[in-house]
Amino acid sequence: MLKLKLNKITVKKLLKGINNESHIRIMEVCGTHTMAIAKAGIKQLLPANIELISGPGCPVCVTAQEDIERILILAKKREVIITTFGDMLRVPGSTGSLQEMQAQGADVRIVYSPLDAVNLARNNPEKEIVFLAVGFETTTPTVAFALEDAHKTGVDNFSIVCMHKLVIPALKALLSDQETEIHGFLLPGHVSTIIGTIPYEFIPREYQRACVVSGFEPGDILESILFISRQLENADYKVENQYKRGVKTEGNKIALEIMDKYFTPFNSLWRGMGEIKDSGLRLRPEYVQYDAIFKFGLQDTLVQLAPSGCICGNILKGILKPEECALFSKMCTPAFPVGPCMVSSEGACAASYYYAGGEVIGR
C-alpha cells in the first residue's frame, strides 16, 4: 500500500514507474472508482496511452427499467411507504420519477440504512414499509441483517424490492462479449471486502487480463494503475490486492453467510447488458413474504423500453463514453436526467458531467 502522501511532486514520481508504452484500456468496475477518478482528475495525470473506461459497477445505473416501473406502481399505493437510498429518487420511469410522485403525495423517505426502514415498519404498523434493495455485495449483507431483524422480531409489514446484483457474473459477461476491449481491471475495493480476492482468479487464468483490487484514494488508484501496467508489461497476469488495509483474501465470512441465508442467485436483467446468468439475487422461497413484488402481485408488470436516444447500456459496457451520447449535457443533465447514469452519484455520465476538468477547460 502507498505510504507517501500524494501531492504534485510525489504523483510525478509515482507515474515515472509506468514504462509501458502500448495502448492500455483499463476498466474501473466500481462506480465509486468512477467518481473518485473523475473528482481527482486522474485522467489528466495519465500518459496518453492509458485509457480508463467505466464499467457496470453503478447499482442504480444497471437497474432494469421494469424494476423502476414496478417501484413507481408501489409508490402509488396509499398504504405503502417507500424507503430508499437517495440515488433512486430521480431515476426516470415512464410515468415520472419517485421524486415527482413524492410531490404528488406519495410517501417516499430517504434512509441511510435498511435497519432504519425496519424501525419505521415497527413504528407504523398500519403501513407497509418497502425498502428498495439496490446494490452489489457491499450493500446486500446490510439488507440481509435488516431482514434478519424483521424476521426475528416478527415485523411483518416490512418488505423489499430485491434488485441486488453480483459482480462476478457481470465480469464474466463482459469478458465473453467480443465488442468490449479491456486489458486490465481495477477491481472494486468495497465489494472485495465482502467476497475477497479468490473469485476474481478466473480473469487472469482464463482471459489473461491484469487485475488489481484497489482502494479509493487517488493514491490507491494511481498505484493500482501502475500495478496493472506492470502486469501487462511482464505478461504476468494475476489478482493483486492493492487495498490490503480493507480486503482479505477470503473476504468476510459472516457477511457471506447471512447473504446466503436470505438470498439466492437467479438470471437477472441488467440495463444495457440484458439477462446475465446467475447475476442477480432474489429472496429464498422460505422468505418470499418479504418480497414486495410478490406481496403486491407485480411479477407480470410489462417491460418498458429504455428512453430513446439514451446510450447508458453501451456506456455501462465500456463501449461508448458519456460525451459520445447525443443527449449528454444537452437534454440529459443531473437536474433533468434521461438515463440513470446521469442520476446516480456513481454514474459515469454524472461523473463526466460534474468533473469534466481537463476536457472542459482545454488542457
Partner 1 sequence: MQPVIIMRGVKLLADERILLSHGAGGLKTQRLIREVFQKNLGNAYLQQELDSALIKFSSHKIAFTTDSYVVSPIFFPGGDIGKLSVCGTVNDLAVMGAKPLYLTLGLIIEEGLPVEELDKLMFSLGNTAREAGVQIVAGDTKVVEHGACDKIFINTSGIGIVPPNLDLRPQKMVPGDKIIVSGPVGNHGIAILAARESLDFSPPLASDCTYLNYLIDGVLNTGASIKCMRDPTRGGLATTLNELAQQANLGIKLHEEALPVQPQVKGACSMLGLDPLYLANEGKVIIVVANKDARQVLEEIRKYDIGKNASIIGEVTDAHCSKVVMETELGTLRVLRMLEGDPLPRIC
Name the residue among 8, 199, 340 with its Cα closest to residue 213: 199
Q: Is 190 in the site for partner 1 (CB under 8 A)?
A: no
Q: Please report how close the Cβ of residue 342 comes to partner 1 at its closest, in angstroms.
A: 10
Q: Is 175 in the site for partner 1 (CB under 8 A)?
A: no
Position of cell 417507500? 82
Site for partner 1 in 3-32 (CB under 8 A): 6-8, 11
Grid cell, residue 278, equals 446467475
Site for partner 1 in 216-235 (CB under 8 A): 218
How far is CA 255 from each of CA 16, 58, 89, 158, 161, rounded to the nearest angstrom?
40, 21, 27, 21, 20
Q: Which window, 35-43, 153-161, 252-260, 312-320, contacts partner 1 (CB under 8 A)?
A: 35-43
Determine which residue in the list 86, 125, 274, 309 makes contact with partner 1, applying CB under 8 A.
86
* Cβ atoms of 347 and 67 closer than 8 Å: no
Mapping DSSP to helix (H, G, I), strand (E, B) and coil, where does residue 55 land? strand
Tell me whether residue 304 or residue 345 sits nearer to partner 1 (CB atom).
Answer: 345
Grid cell, residue 55, equals 464499467
Position of cell 482545454? 362
Q: Is 361 in the site for partner 1 (CB under 8 A)?
A: yes
Tell me whether residue 125 or residue 358 sits nearer to partner 1 (CB atom).
Answer: 358
- As a whole number of angstroms, the longest Cα–Cα distance in the chain is 64
In angstroms, the CA 146 to CA 141 distance is: 9
Q: Is 109 in the site for partner 1 (CB under 8 A)?
A: no
CA 105 and chain centroid, separation: 29
- Phi and psi of 164, rounded to 5°? -60, 145
Site string for partner 1, 314-343 (x = CB under 8 A): -------------------xxx--------
Q: Is 44 in the site for partner 1 (CB under 8 A)?
A: yes
Q: Is 360 in the site for partner 1 (CB under 8 A)?
A: yes
Tell me whether residue 134 or residue 171 sits nearer to partner 1 (CB atom).
Answer: 134
Q: Which residues bind partner 1 (CB under 8 A)?
A: 6-8, 11, 39-42, 44-45, 86, 90, 112, 218, 333-335, 345, 353-358, 360-361, 363
